[in-house]
Amino acid sequence: MAASGKLASFRLPPLPTVGELIKLYKLRAEKQLSQNFLLDLRLTDKIVRKAGCLNGAHVCEVGPGPGGLTRSILNAGAADVLVVEKDSRFIPGLQLLSEAAPGRLRIVHGDILTYRMDRGFQANISKPWEEDPPNFHIIGNLPFNVSTPLIIKWLENIANRTGPFAFGRTRLTLTFQKEVAERLTASTSSKQRSRLSIMAQYLCTVHNCFTIPGRAFVPKPEVDVGVVHFTPLVQPQIQQPFQLVEKVVRNVFQFRRKHCHKGIENLFPEARRVELTQEMMQKADVDPVLRPPELTIPHIRALADAYAHLCIREPGLLSYEFREELRLKHLARKSKAPTGTVTDMPGGTLQSPLQPC
């Protein structure tokens, strides 16, 4: 069959196994870089299947390490794979893989947090945002210590259509600590509903594909791992700047067990807190006694729209941060207090806005 004949040509020639490579190059996992390797190619193949059809695709893989997932991506027929790896010890093994897949694997020794992915691929892979996603994917068994900052950065990129999303609605297939995967995909009122749930779901369709038990990794991490797939939405569910949405959501979830108006109050300077909170809740038509996890994305949209309206009317509001007001107040009190009082002691500084001294 022509199709299967074509598929067979994607497959890599015989190579040392990932386990043999690890031994060959004496690659001890570095805890600092959150290195937990997947050596079972059935599992890496399963992750890659969740990305969708990779036939002829362009792929950026985050943290390839010894290259197990990279092999599965290449075997799935990706035409152009660019891997970004911070630890130089993995580069020789990846070069071996690159020689086995001529012209299909490019290796970048760098940090994914600063790497300019928009410069790593040609503009002609782009698809207009309103059309189907481009044949460009980001895939990674992410280092845990960078996974949350990375997804927040990419969500902001999605909102602004920058970075990897300058090419269109680039899909992401990524691993997270199971708990983070659950937060990303949590529905309204669930125990895991959090800031991350709202920020991800207002911009993307998010699926928690499956869980990999910790014992499948070498060395075994203390937690299980979730594989999450993201497809950016054509139309974000909230049409306000990312920073504004992030600020509203951060404040709302500040007191997740209290009524939502408690967190919203902190969007406003103390002197006008009651009045402006009331106005914002009324404008948004959101019940102030709902708890943050009970808020749906339409509720958050109404709150963000109402807050944006107030910020246009009162331009100083957007830059107001209640923690800054507390800090200044605390400093003022401290400068007035006689020396030796509790505010001068190391433990006397403000721990939380709930416990002003």
Which residues are known binding-site members?
Answer: 36, 38, 63, 85, 111, 141
Residues making up the annotated binding site for S-adenosyl-L-methionine are 36, 38, 63, 85, 111, 141
Q: Which of 192, 250, 276 is nearest to 226 (CA)?
A: 192
Pick the binder of ligand SAM from 37, 136, 176, 242 (CB under 6 A).
37
Tell the smallest beta-carbon distance from residue 338 to ligand SAM (Å): 49
Q: Closer CB to ligand SAM, residue 84 or residue 311?
A: 84
The 3-state DSSP class for residue 317 equals helix
When asked if residue 84 is in the footprint of ligand SAM (CB under 6 A), the reply is yes
The answer to whether the CB of 227 falls within 8 A of the CB of 173 is: yes
Tell the smallest beta-carbon distance from residue 221 to ligand SAM (Å): 8
The answer to whether the CB of 67 falls within 8 A of the CB of 98 is: no
- Pattern of binders to ligand SAM over 95-134, x per CB under 6 A? ----------------xxx---------------------
Tell the smallest beta-carbon distance from residue 126 to ligand SAM (Å): 24
SS3 content of the chain, % helix, strand, coil (to 5): 50, 15, 35
Q: Closer CB to ligand SAM, residue 32 or residue 124?
A: 32
Chain Cα centroid distance, residue 271: 36
Q: Which of 59, 30, 23 is nearest to 174 (CA)?
A: 59
Q: Which among 59-67, 92-100, 187-195, 342-350 is the span making contact with ligand SAM, rule CB under 6 A?
A: 59-67
Q: CA-CA distance, 251 to 249, in Å (whole number)?
A: 5
The answer to whether the CB of 66 falls within 8 A of the CB of 90 is: yes
Q: CA-CA distance, 27 to 177, in Å (whole number)?
A: 23
When asked if residue 292 is in the footprint of ligand SAM (CB under 6 A), the reply is no
Q: Which two tokens stand for residue 324?
A: 């800054």
When asked if residue 33 is in the footprint of ligand SAM (CB under 6 A), the reply is yes
Chain residues binding ligand SAM by CB under 6 A are 33-38, 63-66, 68-69, 84-87, 90, 111-113, 141, 143, 146
